[in-house]
Amino acid sequence: MTIKALSCQLSAVSATLVALATVACQVRAEPPVAEWIDATATLDSTTTPVYEGNAPLSFTFILDMRRGDPLTLSAFSLGAHSGTHIDAPQHFIADGASVDQVPLSELVGPARVIQIPDSVQAIDAAELNRHVWKGAERVLFRTRSTSGHWMSSAVFRHDFAYIAPDAAQLLADAGVKLVGIDYISAEQFGAPAPRTHRTLLGKGIPIVEGLDLSDVPAGDYDLVVLPIKVRGHEGAPARAIVRKRT
Ligand SMILES: [Zn+2]
């Protein structure tokens, strides 16, 4: 065999390998996986709103290498319902599950983000039914609180959008696994009775409050929201992330 013939055979083999590799790549090609998006409000005592009457936020350095200490060590003090957090049934139901008992199956899974117009403060049954929400396993409301960036302003607003009791009843009756909203309460400020909380938590449905949905437009997502696991308490701050479903 001449050198030229050998080289032709080798290039034929390499062409076959390239073709095989191309086929293999095509077989392996999967739909692109969407990036995870942080839907958590950053806790910061200068920018995190605190619900009227709740404990203030305090983040301090006990030791700090910037001051010459051999290490950096912090202490946190904050209300259980600070920033992005989970309300467990125990919040309003005497024998309800505490935050450490809320099943992961409720906190992790598909969620639908619904855009509520800025003009709407009460998300009542009529408003809810203007949107496609039936069949959604988890429902998160993106409201005027997101447009106003209220979760990153220390001023506590009274006019945040809330879930009215009749909408909470529809969601509870439909068997949703979790309900969420983008300000630190799902209940109307100054409501005569906490009917929204009682309706949802009474059915064992955890509520995630204080979401930051700035980067999360309406649509279907995978949600992971994991509260700090504190035994026997009714709520805890959480990290919430979402990923667009394809
Ligand atoms: Zn709460």
> Do residues 141 and 114 make contact, with C-beta atoms less than 8 angstroms apart?
yes
> In 3-state terms, what secondary structure has residue 135?
coil
Q: Same domain for 26 and 84?
A: no
Q: What is the pLDDT of residue 26?
A: 54
59 in any annotated domain: no
- The tokens of 38 are what? 């942080």
For residue 108, pLDDT over 70 is answered with: yes
Q: What is the CATH number of the domain that holds 236?
A: 3.50.30.50
Q: Same domain for 108 and 222?
A: yes
236 in any annotated domain: yes
CA of 34 to the centre of ligand 1 (A): 30
CA of 2 to the centre of ligand 1 (A): 81
Q: What is the pLDDT of residue 30?
A: 75
* Burial class (CB within 10 angstroms; exposed 0-12, middle 13-18, buried 19+) of 90: buried
CA of 81 to the centre of ligand 1 (A): 5
Percent of the chain with pLDDT over 70: 88
Q: Same domain for 94 and 3?
A: no
Q: What is the CA radius of gyration of the chain?
A: 25
72 in any annotated domain: no
Report the C-alpha dihedral over residues 232, 235, 240, 245, rounded to 10 degrees. 90
| Average of per-residue pLDDT across 101-129 | 98
Q: Same domain for 193 and 177?
A: yes
Q: Is 91 a catalytic residue?
A: yes
Write down the number of H helices and E strands in the chain: 6, 12
Distance from C-alpha of 161 to C-alpha of 7, rounded to nearest angstrom:
73
Look at residues 156, 153, 162, 157 and name the one whose alpha carbon lies nearest to residue 185.
162
The pTM (predicted TM-score) of the whole model is: 0.87
User: How far is Cα of residue 39 from the mean position of the Cα atoms in its chain?
Assistant: 5
Range of the domain at 191: 36-52+80-244
8 in any annotated domain: yes
68 in any annotated domain: no
Please compute, for residue 184, the number of CA atoms within 13 A of its CA located in the half-sphere on the CB side: 28
Q: Same domain for 20 and 123?
A: no
Q: Same domain for 170 and 111?
A: yes
Tally the domains of the chain. 2
Q: Same domain for 22 and 41?
A: no
Q: What is the pLDDT of residue 28?
A: 62
66 in any annotated domain: no
What residues have their beta carbon closer than 5 A to ion ligand 1? 81, 87, 209
For residue 143, pLDDT over 90 is answered with: yes
91 in any annotated domain: yes
CA of 219 to the centre of ligand 1 (A): 24
Catalytic residue, candidates 81, 91, 158, 197: 91
Distance from C-alpha of 191 to C-alpha of 179, rounded to nearest angstrom:
19
CA of 184 to the centre of ligand 1 (A): 6
Residue with tokens 């009460």: 122
What pLDDT, in 10s, does the model give residues 10-57?
455 455 544 544 545 455 677 778 999 999 999 999 999 999 999 999
Q: Same domain for 202 and 108?
A: yes
For residue 228, pLDDT over 50 is answered with: yes
For residue 5, pLDDT over 90 is answered with: no
Non-local CB neighbours of 191 within 8 Å, separated by 6+ positions: 162
Q: Same domain for 135 and 219?
A: yes
CA of 235 to the centre of ligand 1 (A): 7
Q: Same domain for 25 and 87?
A: no
Look at residues 245, 241, 246 and name the one whose alpha carbon lies nearest to residue 108.
241
63 in any annotated domain: no
**CA pseudo-torsion sign 74, 80, 83, 87:** positive
Q: What is the pLDDT of residue 20?
A: 47
| Average of per-residue pLDDT across 95-117 | 98
Q: Same domain for 96 and 200?
A: yes
Q: Same domain for 86 and 200?
A: yes
